[in-house]
Amino acid sequence: VHLIIADAEIELIPDELLKFPAVRATARRRGKKPSECLLDSSLHYSALRHLKDGGRRGRADITHFCLLLALDSIANRKGMLHTFVHTRNDLVMEFSPDVRLPKNYNRFAGLMEDVLVNGGVWSEGRQLISLKKESLKSLLERLGGRAYLLEEDGKQFSSFASLRDATVIIGGFPHGSFISDVGNMCRRISISGEKLMAWSAVSIVLARAFPAKLYF
């Protein structure tokens, strides 16, 4: 499975907000430049009201959980998973299957800042997280094969085994719709009649797409 957390609400603080007092205060407290800090809805709530789509932005926590689940999964340990994050600014991060992410949110936010500022993370000459400018559409073209996009009002879907060699796209935002245009490049499916948080969708896909013999 190629797993893409797409339109993820992860970004550095955008120019329009750099002068806001709350933004400057939180950056100062961390000893960082505001332009090198992650936008965080729980810290920058008041400033976000002045931003387009402010009600859904600054949610690295959603991607954090999705990644912890994906990278710790048995499928990933067996080399059957390939994990990407695509952000609202059309940046694509690719994660080495053996990268160990911080479990603590504040440390994860620091890691994302490093990736976005430095263009990736390396260890002993090997790249653990890469970053490139790429739209969701071009990422799908690059990966090829069948792609499924999960959304609440997609087509009822239960044949999880067919996800196995495909690309699965899960939205990395709290509510609303995908903002990326993917035209007709993927089937839009729903795995439950209800709205799910992104991590619940990741967890169901991981547990059901792979053969039961992956467990006992």
Give residues in contact with its own copies (CB under 8 A).
29, 41-42, 59, 61-62, 65, 68-69, 72-74, 77, 103-107, 156-158, 174, 190-194, 196-197, 199-200, 203-204, 206-208, 212, 214-216
Q: What are phi and psi of 196, to 5 degrees?
A: -115, 145
Instruction: Specify the residue, 71 or 85, whose C-beta has the smaller distance to its own copies.
Output: 71
Cα separations in angstroms, 72 against 78, 156, 169: 11, 28, 18
CB of 69 to its own copies, least distance (A): 6
Instruction: Specify the residue, 179 or 197, whose C-beta has the smaller distance to its own copies.
Output: 197
3-state secondary structure 179-194: CCCCCCCCEEEECCCC
CB of 24 to its own copies, least distance (A): 17
CB of 132 to its own copies, least distance (A): 28
- The DSSP code for 38 is B
d(CA 11, CA 198): 18
- The strand pair at 91-95 and 126-133 is best described as antiparallel
Instruction: Specify the residue, 104 or 138, whose C-beta has the smaller distance to its own copies.
Output: 104
d(CA 168, CA 148): 5
Instruction: Specify the residue, 139 or 202, whose C-beta has the smaller distance to its own copies.
Output: 202
CB of 119 to its own copies, least distance (A): 26
CB of 21 to its own copies, least distance (A): 18
In 55-176, which ranges are continuous DSSP H helix?
Answer: 60-72, 74-77, 105-118, 136-143
d(CA 86, CA 84): 6
Helices (H) and strands (E) counted in the chain, each on its own, are 7, 8
Instruction: Specify the residue, 124 or 194, whose C-beta has the smaller distance to its own copies.
Output: 194
CB of 59 to its own copies, least distance (A): 8
Instruction: Specify the residue, 105 or 137, whose C-beta has the smaller distance to its own copies.
Output: 105
